[in-house]
């Protein structure tokens, strides 16, 4: 389940606006990496490019050994959680989560009972037991987010991509869900990338953080590395005020993760 993601020198222009200017990134299997940056830095564009939702002008994306360009969107098996969740509003929670499994061509589709069991299992995983029959309009923001996550996980994705997963939620719910997401990640072990503009969130959740600015990666490293050795002036400015002692970083709670190779790629 844990696939590596390699992004090699991606460039993407929207008309004349350069959204991504030669971005490269390597994510190890099972890693949780944050794409952090101000609005317009290209982080969502990068995430969508990796997902295959945006075509890019040059560069390559690899999932393990497979060049993503050879895969259609359907074949990529990417779990994508949209910023506004994009739940199918006319379908129940059960149908939403089961969607990816039911959409498979007949040959590879699991039997109904299996699908049902998987959905129930996932609902349990995201702690929404018993809500199969509800509709998105009847759920709170945090619940919807977890349904979106369960839906993405149902297809056993190679990689999990989250676009500002907590952006639409209020502060308290955000904090709780952050913790919860980290625990979930540790349990399932998916390679995960998520986009955020919230420094605290990135530093608290991620194994490594990639800081983007104007379509380029300014620095990638563990939270401790970034805070102690900011690579550029922008990074120093951007993380100004972050106090690692106040944040419950992953590195702070698990020394083993410090053994990650530092790859600073400009």
Task: Report the interface residues with another protein, using CB under 8 A.
Answer: 51-55, 73-74, 76-80, 82, 84, 86-91, 99-100, 103-104, 151-152, 154-155
d(CA 213, CA 19): 10
Q: Which of 177, 103, 95, 107 is nearest to 136 (CA)?
A: 95
- Alpha helices by DSSP H, listed for 38-92, are 43-51
Would you put residue 237 in left (φ > 0), alpha (ψ -120 to 50) or beta? alpha
Q: Measure CA of the first residue to CA of the last residue in the chain; give whole Å.
A: 29
Query: Is the Cβ of residue 96 or residue 225 nearer to another protein in the bound state?
Result: 96
Residue 159 in contact with residue 78, Cβ under 8 Å? yes
d(CA 258, CA 260): 5
HSE, CB side, 13 Å, CA atoms: give it for residue 258: 8
Strand 32-36: give its sheet, edge to edge.
Answer: 78-81, 159-163, 191-196, 32-36, 208-213, 216-221
In Å, how far are 8, 39, 76, 97, 245 from 166, measured between CA atoms? 28, 15, 25, 19, 23
Query: Is the Cβ of residue 154 or residue 239 nearer to another protein in the bound state?
Result: 154
Query: Is the Cβ of residue 151 or residue 190 nearer to another protein in the bound state?
Result: 151
HSE, CB side, 13 Å, CA atoms: give it for residue 256: 1
Question: Within the chain, what is the greatest distance between any pair of CA atoms?
Answer: 56
Query: Is the Cβ of residue 78 or residue 202 nearer to another protein in the bound state?
Result: 78
CB of 48 to another protein, least distance (A): 9
CB of 155 to another protein, least distance (A): 6
Residue 259 CB coordination number (10 Å): 6
CB of 102 to another protein, least distance (A): 8
The three-class DSSP label of residue 14 is strand
CB of 255 to another protein, least distance (A): 36
CB of 81 to another protein, least distance (A): 9
Query: Is the Cβ of residue 52 or residue 223 nearer to another protein in the bound state?
Result: 52
Query: Is the Cβ of residue 73 or residue 117 nearer to another protein in the bound state?
Result: 73
CB of 74 to another protein, least distance (A): 5
Query: Is the Cβ of residue 55 or residue 240 nearer to another protein in the bound state?
Result: 55
CB of 75 to another protein, least distance (A): 8
């Amino acid at each position: 389940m844990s696939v590596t993601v390699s992004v090699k020198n991606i460039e993407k222009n929207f008309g004349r606006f350069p959204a991504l200017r030669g971005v490269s990134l390597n994510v190890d299997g099972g890693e949780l990496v944050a794409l952090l940056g101000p609005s317009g830095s290209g982080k969502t564009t990068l995430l969508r490019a990796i997902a295959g939702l945006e075509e890019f002008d040059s560069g390559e994306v690899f999932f393990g050994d497979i060049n993503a360009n050879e895969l259609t969107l359907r074949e990529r098996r990417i779990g994508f959680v949209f910023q506004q969740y994009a739940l199918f509003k006319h379908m129940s929670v059960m149908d939403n989560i089961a969607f990816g499994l039911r959409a498979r061509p007949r040959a590879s589709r699991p039997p109904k009972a299996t699908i049902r069991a998987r959905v129930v299992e996932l609902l349990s995983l995201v702690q929404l037991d018993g809500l199969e029959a509800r509709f998105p309009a009847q759920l709170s923001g945090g619940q919807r987010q977890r349904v979106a996550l369960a839906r993405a996980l149902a297809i056993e994705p190679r990689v999990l991509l989250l676009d500002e997963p907590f952006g639409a939620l209020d502060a308290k719910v955000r904090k709780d869900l952050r913790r919860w997401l980290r625990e979930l990640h540790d349990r399932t072990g998916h390679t995960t990338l998520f986009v955020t503009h919230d420094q605290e969130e990135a530093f608290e959740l991620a194994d490594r953080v990639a800081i983007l600015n104007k379509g380029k990666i300014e620095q990638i490293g563990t939270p401790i590395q970034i805070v102690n050795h900011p690579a550029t002036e922008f990074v120093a400015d951007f993380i100004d005020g972050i106090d690692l002692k106040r944040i419950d970083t992953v590195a702070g709670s698990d020394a083993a993760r410090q053994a990650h190779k530092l790859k600073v790629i400009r």
